[in-house]
Amino acid sequence: MIKTIVPAELNEKKDKLRIMDQTLLPNEEKWLELDDPESIWEAIKMLRVRGAPAIGIAAAIGLYVCSLRSQAENVFEFGKEFEKIKDYLATSRPTAVNLFWALNRMTDRFHREKNKSIDEIKWALLDEAEKILSEDQAMCRAIGRHGLSLLKSEMGLLTYCNAGGLATSGLGTALAPIYLGCEKGYNFKVFSCETRPLLQGSRLTAYELDKAGVDVTIICDNMVSQVMKEGKIDAVLVGCDRVAANGDSANKIGTSGIAILAWEYGIPMYILGPTSTIDLDTPTGADIKIELRGEDEIGNSFGRRTAPEGVKAYNPAFDVTDAKYITAIITDRGIVKPPYTKTLMELFG
Ligand code: MRU
């Protein structure tokens, strides 16, 4: 059975958030233990922990471990401190709805327990954070099973960014059907786009697939059309950071271009994500806030200048794939097909 790294979890004593610093991959596997709001915020912001579900898990555990340090003498004070940390962590990254979904779940749990003692509330918060993590593992497996039902052995599969184990607490979303297929002896040929500017595709996806013994080939992002034209791609599998009520789906910048190419070449475009990424409160993709990141990630990435000093760079971190280019959205609850406004509401409303 394939085992993936759990990138965000509690440490053994259950008093710190333990994350693998993904900015160092593939060169170094280094774990960090964090228990203060500033370092947890920084770890999410700087992508030490990243990928929509993992961000949510890190925030939930982070909120719990920070609340452990509270010196509040009554529940009212404790609640005020809790809200402050929650609001602060919510400012770390805007696009992945999982961050807000997880923080809201922790808050709802707090409110359900507010008539209990501070210690009892802390136990409840621990329980909620652990549930968020274990439910994510189960959701990944379910996504994998549904996704695999659409695939056959020997297929060429294209993926983008990292929607694997490193982005979740389980088998990932887009990579889950690949892992489950490999467990069954399917012989997939996976193409992983590098994913400029931060190279999640080559640094992370190729890393974890290769480690698991999956046949993976890296291509530069601008090679997708040629590789599709050569007939090497039978399906595109990507993750998502937020799926709007009409099916428009935000994912790593560059995904929407791949979807348009897949449409042109008649290749199925699958978006894979858990319930925690479906956001029926966001009507369309136009309502999704796209994170803008620093210019240095483009002109000075990985500590070396690749553009002249002083030249401007524009760096949106996500884009929205219009629902019309999406063949199906594969979730833990099942496979959703157009018309998405109706089918998403039926499954998640
Ligand atoms: O900026 P990142 O690395 O957090 O972006 C991640 C992605 O875009 C993933 O595809 C998405 O979060 C899905 S992860 C299961």
Residue of 21, 36, 108, 241 with catalytic role:
241
Indicate whether residue 52 lines ligand 1 (CB < 6 A): yes
The verdict on whether 241 is a catalytic residue reads yes
Nearest in space to 201 (alpha carbons), one of 242, 260, 254, 134: 254
Distance of CA 164 from the midpoint of ligand 1 (Å): 9
The pTM assigned to this predicted structure is 0.98
Distance of CA 104 from the midpoint of ligand 1 (Å): 20
The pLDDT value recorded for residue 301 is 86
Structural tokens at position 244: 């709007």
Residue from 168, 194, 252 to probe ligand 1 pocket by mutation (most atoms less than 8 Å from CB): 252
Distance of CA 136 from the midpoint of ligand 1 (Å): 15
Nearest in space to 270 (alpha carbons), one of 170, 147, 138: 147
Question: 292 pairs with which residues across the strands?
Answer: 316
CB atoms within 10 A of CB 154: 10
Angle in degrees, 0-180, between the axes of helices 118-148 and 52-68, rounded to the nearest 10: 170
- For the chain, 349 residues long, the average pLDDT of each consecutive 10-residue run is 94 98 98 98 98 98 98 97 98 98 98 98 98 98 98 98 98 98 97 98 98 98 98 99 98 98 98 98 98 96 92 98 98 98 98
Looking up tokens 């900015």, which residue turns up?
23
The dihedral over CA atoms of 215, 217, 221, 224, expressed in degrees to the nearest 10, equals -80
Indicate whether residue 241 lines ligand 1 (CB < 6 A): yes
The pLDDT value recorded for residue 332 is 98
Where are any strands of DSSP class E within the chain?
8-10, 17-20, 31-34, 156-159, 189-193, 216-219, 235-238, 242-244, 249-252, 269-272, 278-279, 318-321, 328-331, 334-336
The pLDDT value recorded for residue 270 is 99
